[in-house]
Structure 1
Amino acid sequence: MSPSDIVNRAGGRSSRRAKRALHVPPMLPTLENRLPLTAPMDEDQIARIDDASMSILEDVGVVFRDPVALDDWRKAGANVVGDLVKFDRAHIRSLISSIPQTITIHA
């Protein structure tokens, strides 16, 4: 069989690549934000959320199932009954005030 007898196939890698190059996927329409911009909360709204969250911590409490965490809260002065921890509002405020304003994270 001579090289002139060899006939190129219609298929093959090059033809598949050419077909893929010709196909352009349709573009999706751009998204449009129809939601209104949110306004920041005023001082009264912030105070209401703060009061409600403090009431939950004081009256309902938080369940901790880790004995080490329960012991830590007991040492910190929280009211621990079983696995339920209830916090005093002033105690939470003092813990929040002890958090540093900035921290440095080292990679």
Structure 2
Amino acid sequence: MSEEQSKSRRGGRSGGRAARVSARTNPAPVYLSTLHRAVGPIDLLGPEGVQEIHNAAMTILETTGIEFRDPVALADWKKFGADVQDQRVRIDREMLMDL
């Protein structure tokens, strides 16, 4: 069987071991596209909306609190003067704003 017949039987693959080694040692370069932003920043909330969200978050931390499962964190919050009951920590807004 000639070399030409052998190639056609194998499906005409090319490269072999040398091509695989070359592909591993010389990876193809990665081209990243550049993002061009055509639209400027958009303010979805005005200052009043941001303040309203801030006040709501502070109210949640003061009344409902947040659960901490780390004993070191619980001890730290207690040391700073927060209301610690079991794993629930309630924090005054003044204390948070001073941190």
> CA deviation digits over 1:26-61, x for unaligned, max 9?
xxxxxxxxxxx8731210110011011101100110
Distance 2:96 2:50 in 1: 17
Secondary structure of 1:39's counterpart equals coil
CA RMSD of aligned residues (A): 2.4
Q: CA deviation at 1:67?
A: 1.0
In structure 1, runs of 5+ residues without a counterpart are 1-5, 19-36, 96-107
Partner residue, 1:39: 42
Distance 1:11 1:69, change over 3 A: same
Distance 1:17 1:55, change over 3 A: farther
> CA deviation digits over 1:45-85, x for unaligned, max 9?
10011011101100110011111110010001111011100
| Equivalent pairs, count | 72
Matches within 5 A, 1:12-27: 12=10, 15-17=12-14
Partner residue, 1:78: 82
Normalised TM-score (structure 2): 0.63
In structure 2, runs of 5+ residues without a counterpart are 16-39
Higher relative contact order (CA 8 A, sep 6+): 2
Distance 1:17 1:93 in 2: 68
Normalised TM-score (structure 1): 0.59
Letter in 2 for 1:39: I
Partner residue, 1:91: 95
